[in-house]
Amino acid sequence: MACEVKSVRKVVYLVNDKAKMVQEELLERGFEVLVGNGEFYNEEYLKRCWALMPGRGYVTKETLDKAPNLKFICKQGVGLDRIDVEACSERGITVANTPDSNAISVAEHTMALMLACAKQLYPLSLHIRGEALDNSCTDRFKASELHAKTLAIIGFGSIGSKVAKMARAFDMHIIAYVRQIAKYRDKSDIEFTDCLEKALSGADVISLHVSGTKENRHLIGKRELALMKRSAIVINTTRGFVIDEDALYEALVNHRIAGAGLDVFEREPLTAGNRLLKLENVVATPHSAANTPESNRRAHLQCVRIIQAFAETENALGASAEAFS
């Protein structure tokens, strides 16, 4: 049975109104729960909350200014790029995430994009659904195998490592780009390198899994795209800004690379005006890789456990302080 949080009930603000399971679990553990509408912050709720689960919302300095009692933020998923972590630190607010909760879903989605690009599923589907069935499209859009191809995994965290495991089922050769290569020398079944150029130039498929930090903005730009094979496929399921979209568009239009599978974009939510969506050699999804029932359940339960642990630690420290006062 869940251990109840003693003392004054702590207030947790769930911005996402679809997190019903989280609400029930937190109530069972003795928290007071405020539920938003999933779109905009409720200023009254911000004033009252001790902990915040922002969902996909941004947490800025202005947000924090409206939350005088806030002590803890728990972000569902991996990326913290929508949270001003520095401003939180200055205010003594602890920030946590659930880095492993969506790894399986995102890795599977990565493989799906990889296969869709290699097998030309998008253009072939478009042509057979046209008004006049075009059987010659198979001559124009040549599918290829993943078997024995080289996969460059850029960033080898929880998602990148799962992609590697899945890709081995296709007998792909894997080269992984990491910045701290010494940590990975014992993994003999994967070739590790700290040279990005080496990873990009030798790969048939490049899959991006670096963290969404400022240093990774436009990690893949015109120069990096020029290093790739003309037959290369680029997959991005991390953050849109990791790729310079203008440079990617030019590379795809001019057939400098073969294709791209994209779940994330520099400007989200997507609009019909995004030029990449008009290209037949782009398979696109709307930042949905992590959005599965299984992934959401894992993330929700992890958030509940993390919030519970933080509350218990805070209560214990408070009790110790009282004992010595």
Single-letter amino acid, residue 236: N
Question: Could you tell me the fold of the domain covering 103-284?
Answer: Rossmann fold (3.40.50)
Q: What is the pLDDT of residue 79?
A: 81
Burial per residue of 7-39, b for 16 or more beta-carbon CB atoms within 10 angstroms, e otherwise? eeebbbbbbbeebeebbebbeebbbebbbbeee
d(CA 229, CA 170): 20
Task: Tell me the per-residue pLDDT of 51-78, one tens digit each, with 9 for 90 and over.
Answer: 999 988 899 999 999 999 999 999 988 8
pLDDT at 307 over 90: yes
With bands split at pLDDT 50, 70 and 90, how would you rate the model's confidence at 1? very low
With bands split at pLDDT 50, 70 and 90, how would you rate the model's confidence at 233? very high
**Residue that has been written with the tokens 């974009």 in this structure:** 265
Task: Tell me the per-residue pLDDT of 122-139, one tens digit each, with 9 for 90 and over.
Answer: 998 888 887 556 667 777
In percent, the amount of the chain with pLDDT more than 70 equals 93
CA 183 to chain centre: 23
Neighbours of 119 (CB within 10 A): 15
Neighbours of 158 (CB within 10 A): 16
Rounded mean pLDDT of 220-243?
Answer: 98
Question: What would the two tokens of residue 196 be?
Answer: 């990005």
Task: Tell me the per-residue pLDDT of 20-32, one tens digit each, with 9 for 90 and over.
Answer: 889 999 999 999 9
Q: What is the pLDDT of residue 132?
A: 53
CATH number for 11-101+292-324 (one of 3.30.365.10, 3.40.50.261, 3.40.50.720, 3.20.20.70): it is 3.40.50.720
Q: How many CA atoms lie within 13 A of 196 on its CB side?
A: 15
Q: What is the pLDDT of residue 101?
A: 94
- Mean pLDDT, the chain, whole residue set: 92
d(CA 163, CA 314): 38
Catalytic site positions: 239, 268, 287
Domain chopping of the chain, boundaries: 11-101+292-324, 103-284
